[in-house]
Amino acid sequence: MEEKVTNVLLSGVGGQGTILASDILCSVFHEIGYDVKKSEVHGMAQRGGDVTTHFRFGKKVYSPLIKYGDVDFLISFELLEGLRYINWVKKEGKVLLNDQEVYPPAVNLGKMKYPEEVAKTFKKLFKGNAFVIKALDIAVKCGDARAINIVTLGAFSKFFDIKDEIWERNLLQHLPEKVHQLNLNAFREGKMAI
């Protein structure tokens, strides 16, 4: 096993399923033998604010928080929330973005502009290491807009050599039975998105 700790930063808007996605990551990497730590960083939960989760795995993980500038993988469920953490990513880090805009209050009030061409900015800086997917469209196609987190996880799974069976079993453990098939589809569609 690698000595090095891998840092995954997940960001999004409250209600996008950031926390569930990180729960699944935690159990997958723990099952294959890694030490894991994760920490949710948000203010007042559920009230439309930004939500980030730090997920780390390795032989031995100390800090529950990733050091600024040390992110190996940035997963963002929303473009602005991805951009907010652009400086956290290592030079050779990978970025996975859901191509979706959710306007924050200052934009809604017409006081500030939503940043333009976020995906392009990432592509320019990270070249082949920036991946943009239309997770919302795929999730809607699978039957529920809320599955964007699972679609994105499907895409993320492509970065690792972990058996589908492990991903899918852990995925289902975190979800109620009536949405199992929908989320399996979302995960599989997500894998094909990159």
Partner 1 sequence: MEKILQGNYAIARGAWEAGVKVACAYPGTPSSEIIFAISSQYKKDIQAEWSPNEKVALEVASGASFAGARALACMKHVGLNVASDPFMTLSYTGVKGGLVVLVADDPYAHSSQNEQDSRHWARFGKVPMIEPSDSQECKDFTKLAFDLSEQFDTPVLMRTETRISHSFSPVLLEDRRESLIPIGLDVKDAPKYTMVPIYVRMRRVVVEERMKKLEAFADEFKYNVMEINDPKIGVITSGVCYNYAKEVFPNYSYLKLGIVWPLPKKIIREFFAKVKKVIIVEELDPFLETEIRAMGYKIFHGKDVLPSLYEFNPEIIEKAIKGKRYKPPKERINVDELPKRPPNLCSACSHRPFFYALKKLGVFVFGDIGCYTLAAAPPLNAVHSTVCMGAGVGGAFGASKALGKEGLGKVCSVIGDSTFLHGGITPLMDIVYNKGNATTIILDNRTTGMTGLQEHPGTGFTITGEPTNQIDLEVLVRALGVKHVRKVDPYHIKETMEVIKEEIERDEASVIITVNGPCMLHRREKRKFEHPYYEIEIGNCRGCGMCLDIGCPAISWREVMGEEALTTDGHKRKGVVSINRLQCPGCGVCQQICKFESIVPGKA
Q: Which residues contact partner 1 by CB under 8 A?
A: 13-14, 23, 26-27, 30, 35-40, 42-50, 61-70, 80-81, 83-88, 91, 103-110, 112-115, 121, 125
Q: Are 155 and 188 in contact (CB under 8 A)?
A: no
E strands, the chain, in order: 6-13, 35-41, 50-58, 71-76, 89-98, 130-133
Give the integer Cα–Cα distance in Å for 130 and 106: 28
Minimum Å gap between C-beta 42 and partner 1 is 8
Taking each helix axis from N to C end, the angle separating 148-157 and 135-142, rounded to the nearest 10 degrees, works out to: 110
Decide whether 125 or 192 has the Cβ nearer to partner 1.
125
Decide whether 66 or 155 has the Cβ nearer to partner 1.
66
Minimum Å gap between C-beta 192 and partner 1 is 26
3-state percent helix, strand, coil for the chain, nearest multiple of 5: 45, 25, 35
Minimum Å gap between C-beta 186 and partner 1 is 19
Decide whether 69 or 181 has the Cβ nearer to partner 1.
69
Minimum Å gap between C-beta 91 and partner 1 is 8
Decide whether 70 or 158 has the Cβ nearer to partner 1.
70
Give the DSSP letter of residue 68.
Answer: T
